[in-house]
Chain A
Amino acid sequence: DAGVIQSPRHEVTEMGQEVTLRCKPISGHDYLFWYRQTMMRGLELLIYFNNNVPIDDSGMPEDRFSAKMPNASFSTLKIQPSEPRDSAVYFCASSLRQGAETQYFGPGTRLLVL
């Protein structure tokens, strides 16, 4: 298996533009997680899905952020409009189960909003 796949790996955009981050989880994993990582705040869980259904989106910072999972092999995290403070590394992770199961992280998307 190729592991969790994220695209793009890097994104530079201007404030106000829409940004879409993409994730392909490991095949057969029922859970998908979106995280954000910054130097100041460390890793933060934004939202997670179980069987394509959003379960907890309490970590989503604002209405500018939205996430979808139209099928078991694809998820998107959209920021619209983007702001400089959204600059961070965004990770997608997947796992078989939520509890004590290991989460497998993708390589991340490094986002810079100018």
Chain B
Amino acid sequence: KNQVEQSPQSLIILEGKNCTLQCNYTVSPFSNLRWYKQDTGRGPVSLTIMTFSENTKSNGRYTATLDADTKQSSLHITASQLSDSASYICVVRGSGNTPLVFGKGTRLSVIA
């Protein structure tokens, strides 16, 4: 069964600290993996998209990694800011007729 599992479910960190969010998937065959940031009351905004051949992709203080062999991805946030408080959603697209599979997200709270 195609699934995307994210951990932790929620996370609280101090401003300025780093953190890493995890995404494990069983989607096969694999096409690409996306990380979205969703602020409260808003729609998701794309942070990164990675295909099979990409191991790392950065977007400012956000760095996503992908290990297609172990079917794992991580999103690393460096020097967190209060504005990083949001839900982070991992989405995996399979190739062919495999549907888009969403994780339930990690709720990150950055506190001063």
Contact = CB atoms under 8 A, between A and B. Distances in A.
Interface residues of B, number: 19
Contacts, number: 43
Interface string A52-67: 0000101100000000
A65 to B, nearest CB: 17
Interface stretch (B15-23, B65-73, B102-110): B102-110
A99 B31 contact: yes
Q: Which among A59, A105, A107 has the highest number of chain B CB atoms within 10 Å?
A: A105
B105 A42 contact: yes
- Majority SS of interface residues in chain B? strand
Given A42-B89, A100-B49, A102-B49, A107 B105 contact: no
Given A102-B49, A103-B46, A106-B43, 19 more contacts: A4-B43, A42-B89, A42-B102, A42-B103, A42-B105, A43-B102, A45-B102, A56-B99, A59-B99, A91-B43, A91-B44, A93-B43, A100-B32, A102-B46, A105-B43, A105-B44, A105-B45, A107-B41, A108-B43
5 contacts: A42-B103, A42-B104, A44-B102, A107-B41, A108-B41
Interface of B: 31-32, 41-46, 49, 51, 89, 91, 93, 99-100, 102-105
